[in-house]
Amino acid sequence: MKNCIACGMPMLKPEQHAQGDTSKDYCVHCARPDGTMQSYEEKLASMTQFIIKTQGLDEETARQTAQDLMSVLPAWQGR
């Protein structure tokens, strides 16, 4: 099992990998329609919205939470 390098999601099935390609280290939620990985800014925006929707946090708190979560993931270390 791999975890997505951009959001940390466990990828248990091939279809959870970007374009179903198990050689990719990022998931379908972190891929653009062409299969490339989203930029930091794109992922931060989508993760912020996901946190607002699922946890009910205000935008500023959700954005900070997303930044904190992303800072420990391989794709974003050093940001």
- In sequence order, what are the residues at sequence separation of 6 or more whose Cβ sits closer than 8 angstroms to the Cβ of residue 30? 4, 6, 7, 18, 37, 38, 43
Instruction: Give pTM, 2 decimals.
Output: 0.89
Inform me whether the pLDDT recorded for 15 exceeds 90. Answer: yes
Q: What pLDDT is recorded for position 14?
A: 95
3-state secondary structure of 46: helix
Average pLDDT estimate for 9-36: 96
User: Domain tally for the chain?
Assistant: 1
Average pLDDT estimate for 30-50: 97
Q: CA 57, CA 63: separation in Å to the nearest integer?
A: 9
Q: What pLDDT is recorded for position 41?
A: 97
The whole domain housing 30 covers 2-76
